Amino acid sequence: MSRARWVPLALAWGVLVVCGLPALAITLSRVLASTDLRAVRLAAFAPYGIGLYAACLVAVLVLVWLATGPARIRLAVVAGVVGTLLAVHVAWQAPMYAGSRETSAGEPLTVMTTNLLEGRGDIDTVVEAVRRHKVDVLAVQEITPEAFTELIGKLRDQLPYQIGEAAPGTAGTMLFADEPITKARRIETAMGSWVADVGERRVVVAHPAPPTLASWPAEQELIIEEAAAEKPDLVLGDLNASLDHHTVRQLLDDAEVSDAARASNAGWQPTWPVDGFAGVPLPPSTAIDHVLISDALVALATETIEVPGSDHLALVAYLGTPAE
């Protein structure tokens, strides 16, 4: 075999193996909806399946071009399978970019959720974002007593009402609002979750366990059960799960809510981890911070904001009541 033929053949097989194996693992993890924590973590990377399968498809087509006889036919079948899997992943992500969306609304409502990473997130950045975007409801996870003291001192004029608990480490979760907060009740996740009325709207601020802990499935189910029972107008927080996890899809169905980013065709907006993995500097790779809304609200747009010191991007959603 000539070098001119051998080199592209070896490269194509290398790409097929290196990209194909993780792509198949990601696809199976999402489809099987397993609660095995390794599968849960893999499912979070479903959007990357598009790039992986696209690379595989190019590699297989190169192999088809180089092959002869029956081998070409077999490889053409493989190309068809890879193309189908690519189409499946595109279909999973397409609603984030295309579909019906509201372009106007009645009474405006701006909400924001941010995880402070054990209180290390920069409070001045959060305060500036709240003021600049005229935030009406703010959910804060991993808020420590020190972060709470600083935050409330600077936001008392704009968001004077609050419920929840500030706590050391990851356990603090609080809700701030510009309207009175009543009928508050804690949801017993280890890191703190709450349900309350903000004005006339029922709100759940959620922070269940991450998929590195064995309690992830149980706490995901707890949030689903509570939201399904409460039928809130808003669910916001660090859900430690993306739209590619079966638990979030079940939450959308059972609580009769929709994801604000998807409803507004905002596109894929990954929020974690800001600092990459294991010291490797990579951009955020999974969208686990959410604003979910009932039919009593419409989503116009969402955006992410960097909060120095935190491993999460904050998420702001521009909402409103349905237009008359």
Burial of residue 35, with CB atoms counted within 10 A of its CB: 0-12 exposed, 13-18 middle, 19 or more buried: middle
What average pLDDT score do residues 5-25 get? 89
What average pLDDT score do residues 121-150 get? 98
**Would you say 240 and 210 are in contact if contact means Cβ atoms under 8 Å apart?**
yes
With bands split at pLDDT 50, 70 and 90, how would you rate the model's confidence at 147? very high
Q: What is the structure's pLDDT at 200?
A: 95
pTM of structure: 0.93
Reply yes or no on whether the pLDDT at 2 is more than 80.
no
> What's 53's DSSP letter?
H
**Would you say 56 and 16 are in contact if contact means Cβ atoms under 8 Å apart?**
yes
Question: What is the average pLDDT value for the chain, to the nearest integer?
Answer: 94
What average pLDDT score do residues 62-80 get? 91
Q: What is the structure's pLDDT at 278?
A: 67
pLDDT in tens, 198-207: 999 999 999 9
Q: Which of 42, 40, 51 is nearest to 93 (CA)?
A: 51
What average pLDDT score do residues 211-223 get? 97
What average pLDDT score do residues 136-161 get? 97
What average pLDDT score do residues 219-245 get? 98
Distance in angstroms (rounded) separating the CA atoms of residues 294 and 323: 15
Reply yes or no on whether the pLDDT at 1 is more than 60.
no
**Would you say 265 and 96 are in contact if contact means Cβ atoms under 8 Å apart?**
yes
CA 300 to chain centre: 18
pLDDT in tens, 267-281: 999 999 998 876 777
Percentage of the chain surpassing pLDDT 90? 87
**The length of the chain, given as a count of residues:** 324
With bands split at pLDDT 50, 70 and 90, how would you rate the model's confidence at 283? confident
Reply yes or no on whether the pLDDT at 53 is more than 90.
yes
Three-class DSSP category at 138: strand
> What's 215's DSSP letter?
T
**Would you say 86 and 48 are in contact if contact means Cβ atoms under 8 Å apart?**
no
Helix axes 3-32, 48-66, angle to 10 degrees: 140
